Amino acid sequence: MSDPLDKATSKAPATLGEGCLSRYDPEDMSPEDGTEFPGAAELWEQLQEEHQDDVKKPV
């Protein structure tokens, strides 16, 4: 019987280190690994403003 994981369409890059020091090997990564999120800073600022508004509201 073949390994069912061989049918997976994506695989994680190789890792370096062990345990809590484990991290992806930058040499094994390509531009297709990871994400592009150009609006992250703006979203973070918006969420922080909403949180501040919630904190200031009286209960």
pLDDT in tens, 8-56: 677 788 999 999 999 999 898 887 777 778 899 999 999 999 888 777 7
DSSP state string for 32-44: TSS---TTHHHHH
Question: What is the reported pLDDT for 54?
Answer: 77
The b/e string for 24-51 (b: 16+ C-beta within 10 A; e otherwise) is: eeeeeeeeeeeeeeeeeeeeeeeeeeee
Question: What is the reported pLDDT for 8?
Answer: 66
Q: Is the pLDDT of residue 2 over 80?
A: no
Q: Give, for 55, the enclosing helix (H) or strand (E).
A: helix 40-56
- Which comes out higher in pLDDT, residue 52 or 7? 52
Question: What is the reported pLDDT for 57?
Answer: 64
